[in-house]
């Protein structure tokens, strides 16, 4: 790994009690270029602009994918990644689906650890605080030709993070727009998936909702995801979540919730979730909770569902009654080294990683 440390750290200007998530970037980033059929040297360099042209193929033809993950700092200043091997597996799954070169485990994990280590002082400490990390791959070849590109970049950037949604939100169940289609790229974290979701979400916001629950593209009769999150439904004391597929992203937080629910002995069923079933459960009082999970948000509890012009309120549960709140606490305690880790999910980032990579 080639190391170029910044000579002008911005850390002294960073206020961990007052910052903007997604607009505040740490001092360094990782980059690696692909050309002539192979990846070059991994470089850890000062964060900043990279020169590209409007003819860059990633911009014109959409060969771009990314991951979302976090690093955490405990009360003793120790730093941890959370299940990074899952993100490594998934970014390569996305790259393959978009006909882009896969990255090596060494590039991905060593790059992550080196970046988090050198900028560990940027990681805010406390409840809901973390460092959000964005590994990404995109086509960089300068050519207006609709074909697979010959040049790519792998990069890792990061931004300090705090709690995303602090209050419950209202969501609209989509009966027209879909996030993904059969045979498409729904199971990949393709950049274009997010672009395509913005317009329907805008329409839902104009109707007074904060987010959308996406339904299947063929019948709109089954839940798929919610916004940029996987979705969970609790009817009585059973949790339901749709199975992953070529249309539904295999979320790391989703899988973690499933494993934590099983550990607690909560019944969880991974099966198609029908809109009709959820609406009927709301009407007869057996629908207890609906929530979304994802890396950035961790958990977002829904307070109301909008469907075909009707707004259906959900019960207001205490943290002790809510499975969503209980499982969120289980997860964040594990991530922040406040509890035992029986799964081996927490990966310590030792100091001076750069000496070993």
Task: Report pLDDT digits (tens) over 297-318.
Answer: 899 999 999 999 999 999 999 9
Indicate whether 94 and 236 sit together in one domain: no
**Is 62 part of a structural domain of the chain?**
yes
Q: Are 118 and 11 in contact (CB under 8 A)?
A: no
Task: Report pLDDT digits (tens) over 220-242.
Answer: 999 999 999 999 999 999 999 99
Residues 6+ apart with CB under 8 A from 113: 81, 349, 350, 353, 357
CATH number at residue 240: 3.20.10.10
Residue 204: give the domain boundaries: 169-316
Indicate whether 233 and 205 sit together in one domain: yes
Is pTM beyond 0.75? Reply is yes
Closest Cα to residue 237, out of 277, 268, 264? Answer: 268
Strand partners, 72: 80
Average pLDDT over residues 82-99: 98
Residues 171 and 313: their CA atoms lie apart, in Å, by 10
Residues 30 and 46: their CA atoms lie apart, in Å, by 9
Indicate whether 178 and 153 sit together in one domain: no
Residues 240 and 261: their CA atoms lie apart, in Å, by 11
Q: What is the DSSP string of 227-267?
A: TTEEEEEEETTEEEEPPPBTTB---HHHHHHHHHHHHHT-E
Task: Report pLDDT digits (tens) over 112-144.
Answer: 999 999 999 999 998 889 999 999 999 999 999
Handedness of CA 43, 349, 23, 102 (dihedral sign): positive
CATH number at residue 94: 3.30.470.10
**Is 339 part of a structural domain of the chain?**
no
Q: Quick one: pLDDT at residue 353?
A: 65
Strand partners, 28: 46
Residues 330 and 238: their CA atoms lie apart, in Å, by 18
**Is 109 part of a structural domain of the chain?**
yes
Residues 55 and 145: their CA atoms lie apart, in Å, by 9
**Is 341 part of a structural domain of the chain?**
no
Average pLDDT over residues 265-272: 98
Closest Cα to residue 260, out of 166, 323, 302, 215? Answer: 323
Percent pLDDT > 90 in the chain is 93
Indicate whether 125 and 92 sit together in one domain: yes
Look over the chain and give the mean of its residue pLDDT values, rounded to a whole number. Answer: 95
Q: Quick one: pLDDT at residue 127?
A: 87
């Amino acid at each position: 790994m080639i190391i170029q440390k910044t000579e002008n750290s911005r850390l002294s200007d960073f206020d961990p009690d007052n910052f903007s998530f997604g607009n505040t970037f740490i001092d360094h980033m990782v980059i690696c270029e692909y050309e002539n059929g192979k990846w070059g040297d991994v470089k850890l360099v000062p964060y900043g602009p990279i020169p590209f042209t409007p003819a860059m193929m990633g911009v014109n033809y959409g060969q771009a994918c990314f991951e979302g993950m976090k690093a955490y700092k405990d009360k003793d200043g120790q730093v941890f990644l959370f299940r990074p091997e899952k993100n490594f597996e998934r970014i390569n799954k996305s790259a393959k689906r978009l006909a882009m070169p896969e990255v090596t485990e060494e590039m991905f994990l060593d790059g992550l650890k080196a970046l988090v280590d050198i900028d560990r002082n940027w990681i805010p400490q406390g409840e809901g605080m973390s460092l959000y990390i964005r590994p990404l791959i995109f086509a960089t070849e300068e050519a207006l030709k609709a074909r697979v590109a010959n040049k790519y970049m792998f990069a890792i950037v990061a931004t300090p993070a705090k709690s995303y949604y602090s209050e419950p939100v209202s969501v609209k169940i989509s009966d027209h727009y879909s996030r993904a289609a059969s045979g498409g790229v729904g199971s990949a974290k393709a950049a274009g998936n997010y672009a395509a979701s913005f317009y329907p979400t805008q329409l839902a916001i104009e109707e007074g909702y904060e987010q959308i629950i996406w339904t299947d593209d063929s019948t709109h009769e089954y839940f798929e995801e919610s916004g940029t999150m996987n979705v969970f439904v609790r009817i009585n004391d059973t949790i339901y979540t749709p199975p992953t597929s070529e249309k539904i992203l295999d979320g790391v937080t989703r899988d973690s919730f499933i494993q934590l629910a099983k550990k607690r002995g909560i019944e969880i069923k991974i099966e198609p979730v029908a809109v009709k079933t959820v609406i009927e459960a709301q009407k007869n009082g057996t629908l207890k909770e609906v929530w979304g999970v994802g890396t950035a948000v961790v958990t977002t509890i829904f307070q109301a569902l909008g469907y075909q012009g009707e707004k259906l309120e959900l019960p207001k549960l205490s943290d002790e009654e809510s499975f969503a709140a209980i499982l969120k606490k289980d997860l964040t305690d594990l991530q922040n080294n406040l509890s035992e880790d029986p799964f081996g999910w927490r990966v310590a980032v030792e100091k001076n990683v750069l000496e070993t990579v």
